[in-house]
Amino acid sequence: SLILGIIGIFLPLLPTTPFLLLTATMYFRSSPHLYHWLIRQKYLGSYIRNFRESKAIPLHAKVVSVSLIWITLSYCAIWTLPYLWTRILFLVIAIGTTCHILSYKTLKR
């Protein structure tokens, strides 16, 4: 789950925070040393701390996530899929994930 979380930083449709939260939960239950290591990480730890403490997503992360989702799914729907039902499915996925991301509070720093 840690590797998937790291990959999710770079791939727009793979979520980062849920995988990192899963990793933190597993580390917390199995190894306090690994849990504290993960929480103290400069980049990965901030995802977990921000979400755990305030249930919020930074504005920059929201903008990047929503933008990449729409760019990727629009490209796939327009240029790669010939079927109307798949284009509609991509539209529904884009709307659903956008609503989900925007439903969280915005973390202001």
CA–CA distance, 11 with 24 (Å, rounded to integer): 21
Percent of all residues in the chain with a pLDDT value above 90, rounded to a whole number: 24
pTM comes to 0.68
- pLDDT at residue 7 is higher than 70: yes
Q: Which residue has the higher pLDDT, 29 or 61?
A: 29
Whole-angstrom Cα distance, residue 103 to residue 80? 30
Domain residue limits, the chain = 1-54, 57-109
pLDDT at 12: 67
Exposure of 9 by Cβ count < 10 A (0-12 exposed, 13-18 middle, 19+ buried)?
middle
Q: Which residue has the tokens 């991301």?
A: 101
